[in-house]
Amino acid sequence: MRHSSGSKLAYVLMSPVLIYLLAVMALPFGWAVYLSLTNKTVGVPEVFVGMQNYIDLAKDSLFWRAVWNTFVFTMIAVILKAVFGMIMALVLNEKIVARNLFRVLLFLPWTIPTIVSVFTWQWIYSDVGGVLNFLLMKSGLISQPVGWLAAPDLAMLSVIMVNVWRGIPFMGIAILAGLQTVSTEIYEAAMLDGAGAIKRFFYMTLPSIKEVTILASVITTIWTLNDFEIIWLLTRGGPNNGTQVLSTLSYTVGFLNMNLGKAIAISIITLPPLIMLINYVTKRSLSSDN
């Protein structure tokens, strides 16, 4: 009896959320999949064109450039975030003074709006009065100002830097949470047995935080793969499409060239890897619930 009445109540309670998500997320998404099969442009009714958008993209070298850039951007950024996040977690896990204060301070880059971090870094990178060039010249590492956003490869490095700066805290705090579940007794026993710091890290610390690190890295990958703001605001995908990723290409095609059908097709192509990653996270998160 309790089961059935609870069941009815459950649907009533969930209905606002479910109706909203169905109407504003699921249906538009289905509509978008259809529109990717049309030549829809802003303000003009669409005509069904089948797979034409996808075929055009497959033949478009700019599209493949964006695929490659997305891959490079995501790969390097996620690896750097994982490495520095782990370093941050290991340091914060030590017995240090004012640990909570440092934890809060190191977390700040993640809290401020993305657009704010972009502007701040843009100012640091600036070739007129930018502090990064000033510091590097002062220390003798470079002899003349570098245009951090002016050359394709360097621009890629610069946008990755901003993404990493923002993303380290998330990885760090997630790994720290994992580290704090490792019991200290095992460590003390290992130390008595004479295991060195490096050995202890690779045989004890690393295995115990492996799962947390992988899960946090996958979530980070999902976010990084679709980063739009940092690249758009810093370089608009340039110079010379050197930082053009799929999200910026989709925006450019959709809102500057007004070709919505093709722009949606670009987002939809990113879905298969994305769904794989999201599936991994949902499986892990839901199984740890029970």
Residue list 165-224, contact with another protein (CB under 8 A): 165, 168-170, 173-174, 177-178, 181, 197, 212, 215-216, 219, 222-223
Binders of another protein in range 246-265 (CB under 8 A): 246-247, 250-251, 254-255, 260, 263-264
Closest C-alpha to 203, from 180, 182, 181: 182
Residue type, 112: I
Instruction: Please say which residue, 121 or 148, places its beta carbon nearer to another protein.
Output: 121
Of the candidate spans 53-61, 152-160, 234-242, 268-276, the one that interacts with another protein by CB under 8 A turns out to be 268-276
Buried/exposed code over 42-61 (b: 16+ C-beta within 10 A; e: otherwise): eeeeeeebeebbbeebeeee
Total residues contacting another protein by CB under 8 A comes to 98
Buried/exposed code over 206-240 (b: 16+ C-beta within 10 A; e: otherwise): eeebeebbebbbbbbbbebbbbebbbbbbbebbbe
Under the binding rule (CB under 8 A), the answer on residue 289 touching another protein is yes
Binders of another protein in range 11-30 (CB under 8 A): 11, 13-14, 16-18, 20-21, 24-25, 28-29
Assigned token pair, 13 = 């309670």
Binders of another protein in range 101-160 (CB under 8 A): 102-109, 111-117, 119-124, 126, 128-131, 134
Instruction: Please say which residue, 11 or 47, places its beta carbon nearer to another protein.
Output: 11
Binders of another protein in range 52-91 (CB under 8 A): 84, 87-88, 91
**CA separation for the pair 241, 264 (Å, rounded):** 20
Under the binding rule (CB under 8 A), the answer on residue 6 touching another protein is yes
CA atoms lying within 13 Å on the CB side of residue 7: 4
Instruction: Please say which residue, 52 or 114, places its beta carbon nearer to another protein.
Output: 114
Cβ atoms of residues 203 and 211 within 8 Å: no
